[in-house]
Structure 1
Amino acid sequence: METQSEVYDVVGIGFGPSNLSLAVALEEHQSKGNGNPISAAFFERQPALGWHRNMLLPSAKMQISFLKDLSTFRNPASQFSFIAYLHAAGRLAQFVNNQDFFPTRQEFHDYLEWAESSFSDRVTYSSEVTSIRLPQAAGEQPVDHVQVEVRDTSSRGTRLVRARNIVVSTGLVPRMPVGIDRDERIWHSSEFLEKFRKLDHGQVKKVAVVGAGQSAAEIVRFVYDTIPGASVSAIMPSYGYSIADDTPFANKIFDADAVDDYYNGTERSKDSFWRYHKNTNYGVVDDEVIRDLHQRAYDDEVRGTPRLNFLNLSRVDSVKQTGDDVRLTLHSVRNDETYHLDVDVLICATGYDSMEPTEMLGELESHCLRDEQGRFRVERDYRLATGPGVHCGVYLQGGTEHTHGLASSLLSNIAIRSGEIADSIAERRTPRQFSTA
């Protein structure tokens, strides 16, 4: 059944770390007594908060400092910081004694769940936004809100919500190699742990992992350590894993000031940002993981029991399944020849595509302006540029790499980004837009 329409200042589509950080920013904006209350509702397709759950491998660490949490860079005194979480959990002293800037991915996920528990009244899970529609505006009045239809994935009931601003944060989209589809024996890294736990490990003798980035290397290490009887083939287009540049000057690319430099830069300078600094995050691996894998391969050689195979300068041309076997046809860049590899499981750690909001925006999409290359025009406050007939705010948390640079979909700048969006929403409100929800 469709319920009576509700009105909110902000409707967030998706509730991962980005929109969780926005919820924190809106809460702290109000706690400072900054004007009238800003009402917000968030809708998430998953049944609970989940951030790369299938890559929460034992001992896998974050690649950013714990200080780059939901709030600290915007508000060091925040009650939602990672330090506040550690204090609440009674582990602050122990964490400090670790003398490590990088918590495990599991602990950071626990932190996100701890912060999320303060916003249970503002988020609805198992809820999918099915349409965004423009209201039937009277006369020539500009549109100052949109109608958002939300479907409950469990009951299949619908809920109609009016939003003065929407913030889209549906996350990255898993990318598979061209021509390869996922099934019970062929996975993307985004579903790794869930599928891995269902395997009969005693029956698995050969595993292949495609990719040369952090996820690929971590999966190779994990499978090697977890199934001692299996051989693991690491398939990569490069000669070997490339180290992630996390040195101080390179890391400045993720500073808030760097977003201004990128946004206001020329096309040539933006190209330079990517060309020179892509190795800070994309297709690279932490030094510790690289050394771990090399040591394992060396130990295998010493023992005369090689289980770890690095198939470098190779790409997967095609995949064919016969019963429980997966046959890969590989193309070697080294000698331009093809060869076959039979495995029990193929795992594609082949990355993600950026969030693409076009379909999600529905009727709003035709009112959003685009640049000469057909990409959305995005203002500095992460708001889509719209035509004169639309005054409601449409904000993106992701999908803005072409305007805001390398950190657009990463945690590095999450606190500042969410704060800028919250400030923009508050500053753009007109007197008649005060919340009635």
Structure 2
Amino acid sequence: MLGGHNGENQTVDVTGIGFGPSNLAFAVAVEEHNQTAPPGQAVTARFFERQPAFGWHRGMLIEGASMQVSFLKDLVTMRNPVSSYGYLSYLHSRGRLAHFINAKSFFPLRVEFHDYLEWVAEQCAHLVDYGCEVLDIEPVGGPGGTDRLDVVVRRADGRTLRQRTRNVVIATGIEPVLPEGLPDDDRIWHSSRLLGEIGRLRRRPSAFVVLGAGQSAAEVVAHLHSVFPDAHVHAVFSRYGYSAADDSAYTNRIFDPEAVDHHFGSPPQLKEAFLRYHGNTNYSVVDVDLIDDLYRRGYLEMVTGRERLHVRNATRLHCVSPGPDALAVDLEFTPTGRRETVAADVVVCATGYRPCDPLGLLGSTASRCKQDEAGRLEVARNYRVSGEETLHCGIYVQGGATEYSHGITSSLLSTTAVRAGEILSSIVAQRDADAAA
């Protein structure tokens, strides 16, 4: 098997770009395939990750926060329930299996699930180069067209390398979104940086403003309210109240693997309807237990007369003006138009993410790929990008860039294991077909 730190001049079957949960699940699928593959049928793979080490939403590993997805939807169980890379194997290796069972929960602590991901990543460390930024993906011509790609990578030491490959699997995740017009100020954070920024504070803040109405926003509010017991925390969002996430049994079927087939085969207007109908399973919604917890905190403060938690509902942000001692946050209560300025030491923007654009990463190869009328990559059911007839190598995309075509699970963990197996099966089937031709 090709290691992550050698073999630059060798052509591999597949190169993965990004090494978050999606491509980590794909790496596991490759490893398990190779354990049982006949001689000469192993899949050679190499992955490049921009971060210096494995990490997944480290800035939001808030103490006590739980996952919103069952531990059974780990990197492998939905594809291979007897895998040694599953969550139960991880718990056994850590000596916590019985204790986890006694906890009677399907939803692990977030910090524990991150430890699981790191545990798997360590077992796949020979496949990945960290601290590497992909600069371009260049087509390489053959007698019948483009049958290879050169992935151009810049290492952390500044050196550039080229990895020749028959396929690429792009899983570069998501990037934070900030409200437009905010000043460049180190007292304004995206929630993805929360814990790191808190650790760099030079003095204890007396007031925070948290923008956003989703799970991350509510978790940030609860965390700041607990960790800074003398600080005021202003929760600002345009809705009248936090909306509860719909995680009921029937609705959760939208996250089943077969739902991807149903979504993919639906006409465009139905795809849009499905995304609209079930956005409240994931976007701008909060677990009801957390909503109740915040309400109880606010009510207790009303009773005791020491109010620190200020839920500013139906309110929108106008602007933030930096001052020498504090940020002046200008807010409007939308039902009446009343304006108010709040002084804050820190503004935390829990304002969501957007998928990284794979087109920009494809570079020289982007023009060979087909796009729909909205400028989105055309992606087949097996997550392979449609290209011109002379493009024979495989380009596969995981993540939010396929949400429109494959459904709401695309950027979530729910079908990660199954999707990884589908992509690997497509790569192996194409390789076998090419060999037989």
Partner of 2:56: 51
Residue aligning to 2:100: 95
More deviation in 399-408 or 334-343? 334-343
SS in structure 1 of the partner of residue 198 of structure 2: helix
Indicate the SS of the match to 2:306. Answer: coil
Distance 2:166 2:230 in 1: 58
Distance between the aligned counterparts of 1:237 and 1:245, measured in 2?
Answer: 20
Which residue of the partner structure matches residue 198 of structure 2?
196
Q: Secondary structure at the match of 1:161?
A: strand
For 1:14-65, what per-residue CA distance to the aligned partner results, in whole angstroms no more than 9, with x for missing partners? 1011100000111112223267010000010101100000000000000000
Task: Compute the displacement of 1:330 (Å).
Answer: 1.7
- CA pair 431-246 structure 1, distance change in 2 beyond 3 A: closer
1:147 corresponds to which letter in structure 2?
D
Determine if contact 1:201/1:227 at 8 Å carries over to the other structure.
no
AA aligned to 2:90 is Y
Normalising to structure 1: TM-score of the pair?
A: 0.95
The answer on 1:223 being equivalent to 2:224 is yes
- Distance in 1, matches of 2:7 and 2:293, equals 56
Do 2:75 and 2:416's aligned partners in 1 also have CA atoms closer than 8 Å?
yes
Instruction: Decide which moves more: 29-38 or 400-409.
Output: 29-38
Check the 8 A contact 1:237/1:314 in 2, yes or no. Answer: yes
Q: In the alignment, which of 143, 147, 167 is matched to residue 146 of structure 2?
A: 143
SS at match of 2:342: strand
SS of 1:233 mapped into structure 2? strand
Q: Which residue of 1 aligns with 2:342?
A: 341
SS at match of 2:146: coil
Q: What does 1:171-210 align with in structure 2 at a 5 Å threshold?
A: 171-181=173-183, 183-202=185-204, 204-210=205-211
List structure 1 segments (4+ residues) > 4 angstroms apart after TM superposition. Answer: 430-434
- Which stretch of the first structure deviates more once superposed, 2-11 or 247-256? 2-11
Q: How many residue pairs end up in the alignment?
A: 429
SS for the counterpart of 2:250 is helix
Structure 2 residue 23 is matched with structure 1 residue 19: yes
Tell me what 1:368 maps to: 369
Ranges in structure 2 where 5+ consecutive residues have no aligned partner? 1-5
Deviations 1:163-199 (A, max 9, x none): 1100111110100001125532000011111001111
Percent sequence identity over matched residues?
A: 45
How far apart are residue 238 of structure 1 and its match? 0.3
Q: TM-score normalized by structure 2?
A: 0.95
Q: How far apart, CA to CA, are the structure 2 residues paired with 1:214 and 1:201?
A: 27
Does residue 17 of structure 2 align to residue 28 of structure 1? no
2:154 aligned counterpart, secondary structure: strand
1:224-373 to 2 correspondences below 5 Å? 224-373=225-374
8 Å Cα contact 2:185-2:322 kept in structure 1: no
2:126 equivalent to 1:121: yes
Task: Determine if contact 2:210/2:348 at 8 Å carries over to the other structure.
Answer: yes
Superposed CA deviations along residues 359-392 of structure 1, whole A, max 9, x for unmatched, are 1001110011011222111000111101111111
Q: What is residue 168 of structure 1 aligned with on the other side?
A: 170
Question: What is the aligned counterpart of 1:410 among 412, 416, 423?
Answer: 412
More deviation, 368-377/2-11? 2-11
Deviates more, 1:161-170 or 1:318-327: 318-327
Corresponding residue for residue 3 of structure 2: none
The one-letter amino acid paired with 1:165 is N
Which segment is superposed worse, 303-312 or 2-11?
A: 2-11
SS for the counterpart of 1:272 is helix
| Residue identity in the other structure for 2:403 | E
In 1: Cα distance, 2:183 partner to 2:43 partner: 44
- The question of whether the paired residues in 1 share the 8 Å contact of 2:183 and 2:320 is answered with no
Distance 2:310 2:185 in 1: 24
SS at match of 1:346: strand
CA RMSD in angstroms comes to 1.6
Say if 1:3 and 1:160, in contact at 8 Å, map to a contact too. Answer: no
Q: How big is each residue's C-alpha offset from its partner over 1:409-430, in whole Å with a ceiling of 9 and x where there is no partner?
A: 1111110111111111111115
1:78 aligns with 2:83: yes
Q: Which moved more, 1:257-266 or 1:319-328?
A: 319-328
CA apart distance, 1:113? 0.6
Distance 1:391 1:163 in 2: 12
- Change over 3 Å in CA distance of 1:180–1:43 after alignment to 2: same
Alignment partners' CA distance in 1, 2:220 and 2:191:
8
Query: Is the 2:74–2:87 Cα contact (8 Å) retained in structure 1?
Result: yes
Equivalents in 2 of 1:287, 1:181: separation in Å? 34
Which secondary structure state, in structure 1, belongs to the residue aligned with residue 234 of structure 2?
A: strand
For 1:18 and 1:138, the matched residues in 2 are separated by 31
Tell whether the 8 Å contact from 1:5 to 1:159 is kept in structure 2 after alignment.
no
When residues 280 and 432 of structure 1 are mapped into structure 2, their CA distance, relative to the original with a 3 A threshold, is: closer
Deviation at 1:432, TM superposition (A): 6.5
Verify the 8 A CA contact 2:183 2:321 in the aligned structure 1: no
